[in-house]
């Protein structure tokens, strides 16, 4: 995993990008190099996540289009680089919010259990079997890495109403 280093713009902690920002709708690129810059980015992302407060934060949410997210569901902070879900099972509905659409939440149905692989900040491969809240957190952050938002999981009239609401709030009614 060597190559170009992550480039950082602006100061940290970061501002959370909100609905309407194009970086949230762009598939993030692979992280090529785990280095000191990446570790500093992770530290700043964690500081930003805790300040909001959130359970997870994906790099695109702070304007970095790379496949990286941080999380803490109460067991301490972690970062996953180049994550991928390799297995999923079951179904679980849960009221879900997002730091990029603050103040709003919807019941989202996602797989209850997943198997996630990726890398830690030492470059070691990680393999995590997750269920319920941790599974949901991973899936939510991976959506951000793929340019998706939680409203993309809604259907029919609920989706139409959600889109109307977020456009009014974040785009001034466009």
28-62 residues labelled b (16+ CB within 10 A) or e (exposed): beebeebbeebeebbbbbbebbeeeebbbbbbbbb
Start-end of H helices in the chain? 36-51, 132-145, 156-171
> Would 123 be classed as within a structural domain?
yes
Residue 57 lies in a domain: yes
CATH classification at residue 166:
3.90.45.10
Residues acting as catalytic residues? 141
Tens of pLDDT, residue by residue over 23-53, are 999 999 999 999 999 999 999 999 999 999 8
Q: What is the pLDDT of residue 13?
A: 85
Number of domains within the chain = 1
* 79-91 per-position pLDDT tens digit: 999 999 999 999 9
Q: Encoding tokens for residue 151?
A: 């409203």
Residue 3 within any structural domain of the chain: no
User: Is residue 32 included in any domain, yes or no?
Assistant: yes
Structural domain includes residue 4: no
| pLDDT at residue 3, as a whole number | 36
Using pLDDT thresholds of 50, 70 and 90, give the confidence band for residue 169: very high
Domain span at residue 164 reads: 22-171
pTM of the model: 0.91
Could you tell me if residue 26 is inside a domain? yes
Distance CA 93, CA 106 (A): 10
């Amino acid at each position: 995993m060597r190559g170009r280093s992550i480039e950082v713009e602006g100061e940290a902690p970061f501002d959370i990008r909100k609905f309407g920002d194009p970086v949230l709708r762009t598939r993030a690129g692979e992280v090529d190099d785990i280095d000191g810059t990446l570790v500093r980015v992770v530290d700043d992302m964690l500081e930003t996540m805790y300040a909001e407060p959130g359970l997870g934060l994906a790099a695109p949410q702070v304007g970095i289009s790379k496949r990286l997210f941080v999380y803490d569901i109460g067991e301490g902070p972690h970062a996953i680089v180049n994550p991928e879900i390799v297995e999923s099972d079951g179904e679980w509905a849960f009221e879900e919010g997002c730091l990029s659409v603050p103040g709003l939440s919807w019941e989202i149905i996602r797989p209850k259990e997943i198997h996630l692989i990726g890398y830690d900040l030492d470059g070691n491969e990680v393999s995590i079997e997750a269920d319920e809240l941790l599974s949901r957190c991973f899936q939510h952050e991976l959506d951000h890495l793929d340019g998706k938002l939680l409203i993309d999981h809604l259907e029919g009239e609920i989706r139409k109403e959600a889109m109307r609401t977020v456009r009014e709030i974040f785009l001034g009614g466009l």
